[in-house]
A and B are shown apart, each in its own frame.
Chain A
Amino acid sequence: MTWYVLRRVLQMIPVFFGATLLVYFMVFFMPGDPIAALGGDKPLPEAAQARLREEFNLDKPFLVQYFLYLANIFQGDLGSTFRGQSISGQLADAFPITIRLAIIAIVFEAVLGIAAGVISGLRKGTWIDTTFLMLSLLVIAVPTFVLGFVAQFVLGVQLRVMPVNVGRDPSWENLLVPGMVLGAVSFAYVLRLTRTQVAEVAAQDHVRTATAKGLPRHRVVSAHVLRNSLIPVITYIGIDLGMLMGGAIVTESIFNIPGIGFHLWDAIRAGENTKVVTIVTLLVTVFVIANLIVDILYALLDPRIRYVSKS
C-alpha cells in the first residue's frame, strides 16, 4: 500500500512540469501585447514599456522565461500582475470561495446522484427509473449557462429566495444555488453511472449468493451491491473535482462570484500571462491531487488493486 501511494506521488512530478510547460507555451504565443494595452487609449511611453517588459522578463526567450517563472514559484513567489497587485494575495481571497462552491457541487452530485442512481438501478425499467433517466437527459442537454440564468431569474428575480448577484464574501447559503448549478451536469452523469453499475452488480452471482445466505435486502444492497458499484463512480467524482474548478468560470461569471474562475477569466482578457499560468497550474495541481485521492480510495475499496505489482 505504501508503495502504491509513493508511486502515485512520484507520478505527479512529470505531470506538474508537463502541464506548466504546456500552459506557459500557449500563453506565450497568445495574440496581443498586454503591456501596450495597459495604458488603454493613451499608450505608455516606450521607456516605461521597456522597463515593464524587463521587469516581467517578457524580453527574454521562451525557455528562459519559463525557467525564471519556475524558479520564482519554488521560492514561494507567485509574482504580481502588470498593474502591480500581488497574485498570491488575490488568489488567497478567491480560492476559498471557489473551494466552497466546489464542495457544494460535489456533495450535491455525489449524495443525490448516487442515491437516485441506486434507486434507479435497483428498479430498472419502472416509472421511477424512467423519470430519473429523463431528468438526467434534460440536465445534460441544457447548457450550464442556460440553467444558471434560469435559476438566477426564477429564484433570484421572481421568487427572491436568493440574491441575484452573490458579490464579495459570500456565505454558504448564498452559494447553494450556484453550487447546484455547477454540479448539475455531473449529478446527471453520476446518476447514470451509478444506475448502470448498480444494475450490473445486482445481477452478479455473488449478490445472489449473499441473498441465499439469508441476508436482508438492505444488507445485500449496502454491503454487496453499493460498495462494488461505487468504484467507477468515485473515479468519476474525483476527476470531476478538477473539472468543477474549471467549470466554475461560467457559473462564477453568471452569479458574479469573485472566485478562481472569475479571476482566470479576468486574467485571460487582460493578457496577464503570469496570472493565467499560475491559476491554471493551481487547477492542474488540484486535479492531480484529486486523482491521487481517488487512486488511494480505489485501492482501499478494492483489495485486488493493492496487489497489482505481484503479477
Chain B
Amino acid sequence: MTQTGRISFREDPNPELRDGELRDGQASSSGHDHASTPLLDIQDLDVTFTTSAGPVPAVRGANLTVYPGQTVAIVGESGSGKSTTAMAISQLLPRNGAITGGRIEFQGTDIAAADRKQILALRGSEIGLVPQDPMSNLNPLWRVGFQIKEALVANGIAKGKEADRRVVELLAEAGLPDPERRANQFPHEFSGGMRQRALIAMGLAARPSLLIADEPTSALDVTVQRQILDHLDHLTDSLDVAVLLITHDLGLAAERAQHLVVMYRGHVVESGPALQLLQDPQHAYTQRLIAAAPSLSSRRLVSQRERARTRQDAEKAARARDPLPGRHDDGDDVIVAENLTRVFSIRGRAPWEKPTPFTAVDDVSFRLRRGTTTAIVGESGSGKSTVAQMVLKLLEPTSGQVRFDGRDLAQMSSKELFELRRRVQPIFQNPYGTIDPTYSIFRTVEEPLRLHGIGTRRERVARVRDLLDKVALPTGVMDRYPNELSGGQRQRVAIARALALEPEVVVCDEAVSALDVLVQAQVLELLNDLQSELGLSYIFITHDLAVVRQIADDVLVMEQGRVVEHAPTEQVFTDPQQEYTRRLLDAIPGRSIELAGSRILGDLEEAQAPTTDSMVSEDEQEQAVRGPIASEGEDPYTTGGVV
C-alpha cells in the first residue's frame, strides 16, 4: 500500500497519519487510531435557501466527519452544495439561507442552532476560513496588516504593539517576503498569490482547530497554487489544524486530503479514504468526475487521422485562393508571428518622473499551421495575453510583425481588416463579462452576422439555430438572457458567437479557465470536435498545462515575455527542456495518482516510458481519448448534452 500510495510529491511531514488512514481502508467513521472523537461531525444536514420562487434545497442529508488534525476534502461541481455545507458550520450562509435540519457537532456540542454569542466565540478562534477569491476577500480600503490585526484583537490573542508584531510574524509564517513592509500596504498593491497568503495568515491568526479552505487557490496560477497549497499543508500539519478543503478539482483534493466527500446536487454521493475512492469509485458521478479531471487523464482528444484529413482539406482550400500582391508565402501556416515585441511605458507618479519602459512581450516568434492548435502557456504576467491581443490586432506590436494568411496585419487596408475580423475570432476567459447582459442569446450570436451583412433576417435565424445546435445548446435559449444561463452555457454562447462568421482562426484566451472541470471537459471536447469538423486553427492561451495536453499540438512556454520552450505537446510533457516548464508540469495537481483502470503516470521520470508507448499507436490513443471510464452508455452522467 505504501508503494502505490504516492499521494503527492510533497514531503510528507506526518507519514504516520497517512498510512494509518490508508490501512483503515474504510470510511473514517468506522474508527481512527490517532483520534477517536471527531472534531467536526455533520449529521443529516439540510440547508435551504428562500428565494422568490419558493424554498430551494441546497444541501440534503449531508454527513461528514473531520478528526483533529485531519484533512478532508469536499469535491463537487458548482451548485453541488459543497461551499454551502462548509459555510453552514460557522453560520456564514447568505441571509436567505438557513439550516433546516440535522446536527453540526463541533467538539462534541451541536452548533447548528447556536446563538450569535456562541458562534462568535468559535469564529476565528476555533473555526478559521480561507476564502475562495483572493481578489474580493480583502477589504480594499484597509491596510493588509490592519485586517489581520483585527482577527488577533477580536479573538483576544493580542492587542496594540504586540498585535502589530504578531501580524508581521503571521505574514512571514504564511510565506510572504518582506512582511513588515507588506503589512503596511493595501490589498491592491498585492498580487493574487500574495493576497491569498495574507488570507491564510488571517485564517490561522487565532490558531483555530479547524480551517475551512473554500477553493483556496482556484483563482490562482498553477505554480502559485502549488506553492500556496504546499505551504498551507505544511502550516496546518505543524500547527495540527484540521482542514476542510472545498474544491471542484478531484486531482487536487486527492493530493491534499486523506478523506474525500463527493457531493452532487446537495447530496453526499460518496465518501471514503482518498486513494480508495479514486481507484474504486462506486458512484457514477464520482466516476464521471474522475474521467473529466484533466489533471488525471490528460491525452490529446480526438483522432489524429481524422484531424489530418480535415487539415489537408483546409490547406488545399487556402492554396486554391488567388495569391494577392504583397502576400507572403507562408505555406500551410495561417498565422505567422515574427519577432513580436511589445513595450509598455509605465508613467511615474510625479509629472517629471520619466516613464519606465516595460517589455511585456520580447521577441516572440511562432507559426500556426492550418487545422492545428498552438498553446501558449505561462504564469500570469508572462505576456501570453499580450501576444493574443497582437494576433487579434487589438494591440500594435512595438516591433516585429504578425501575418495572417501571408498578409502583414500592420499593412492591411480597412477593408482587409474588416475581413480579418471575420476570419479571426476571439473567445475570452470570463463568460460573465464578455457577453452583453442586455442582449438576448439570439441577438448575441446574430450580431456578428448582421454586422458583416450576412444573409437575410430569416437566414440569420436559421444560422443562429444551427450554431447553437453545434455548441449543444437547445434552441430554446435563443430568447433568453445571459443571466439565465450557467457559466458553462454562457461560454458555449461565446463559442457560438465566435463561430458565427466561420472563422479560420480562433484565439482562445483562457477560454476554459473559469469553468468547472466537468464543463471544462465538455467545452474542450466541443472545441476539438469543431476543429476536426471545420478545420479550425486555434491559438490556445492558458496557464494550465493539464488542459494543454488535451487540446494542443504545439506548445509555446512563455516566461517574462520570452519564449523559453517551443515544442510539440507530447515532447513538452515527456521531455521538458527547461526548468521553468518542469515547474509548470510539477504544479499540475494529482499527476502521480493511480486511477481506476488507468496506469500510473507516476513521477516525471517514471512517466516517460509508459506515456511515450501509448503515444506511438494512434489507435491506442483513440481508445484512451475519453478517459479511463469506457462504458459511456451505462453512465447517466456522460450522456446529458447541456450542463
Contact = CB atoms under 8 A, between A and B. Distances in A.
Interface of A: 3, 203-217, 219, 223-224, 227-228, 301-304, 307, 309-311
B380 to A, nearest CB: 16
A304 B125 CA distance: 31
Nearest to B123: A214
Contact of B349 (A210, A302, A310): A310
B151 A214 contact: yes
A224 B139 contact: yes
A201 to B, nearest CB: 10
A223 B123 contact: no
Interface in B318-338: none
Given A203-B94, A205-B137, A213 B202 contact: yes
A303 B141 contact: yes
Given A3-B349, A219-B154, A310-B346, A212 B123 contact: yes
B631 interface: no
B137 A206 contact: yes
Contacts of B346: 310
B627 interface: no
Main secondary structure of the interface of B (DSSP, over half): loop
A20 to B, nearest CB: 28
B203 A213 contact: yes
Interface string B120-140: 100111011101110011111
B189 to A, nearest CB: 8
21 contacts: A3-B349, A3-B350, A3-B351, A207-B139, A209-B199, A212-B124, A212-B127, A212-B131, A213-B154, A213-B202, A214-B124, A214-B206, A215-B124, A215-B154, A219-B150, A219-B154, A223-B142, A224-B139, A224-B142, A302-B141, A303-B141
Contacts of A207: 139
Interface residues of B, number: 38
B92 A208 contact: yes
B92 to A, nearest CB: 6
A309 B347 CA distance: 7
Interface of B: 90, 92, 94, 116, 120, 123-125, 127-129, 131-133, 136-142, 147, 150-151, 154-155, 186, 188, 199, 202-203, 205-206, 346-347, 349-351
Contacts of B206: 213-214
A301 B90 CA distance: 31
B128 A212 contact: yes
Contacts of A214: 120, 123-125, 151, 154-155, 206
B136 A206 contact: yes
Given A205-B131, A309-B349, A211 B139 contact: no
B138 to A, nearest CB: 6
B350 A204 contact: no
Interface centre among A203, A205, A213 (most CB of B within 10 A): A213
B324 to A, nearest CB: 40
Nearest to A217: B116
Given A214-B124, A303-B186, A209 B154 contact: no
B136 A223 contact: no
Closest 6 CB pairs of A and B: A214-B124, A212-B129, A213-B151, A205-B136, A214-B123, A303-B186
Nearest to A227: B141
Contacts of A219: 150, 154
A301 to B, nearest CB: 7
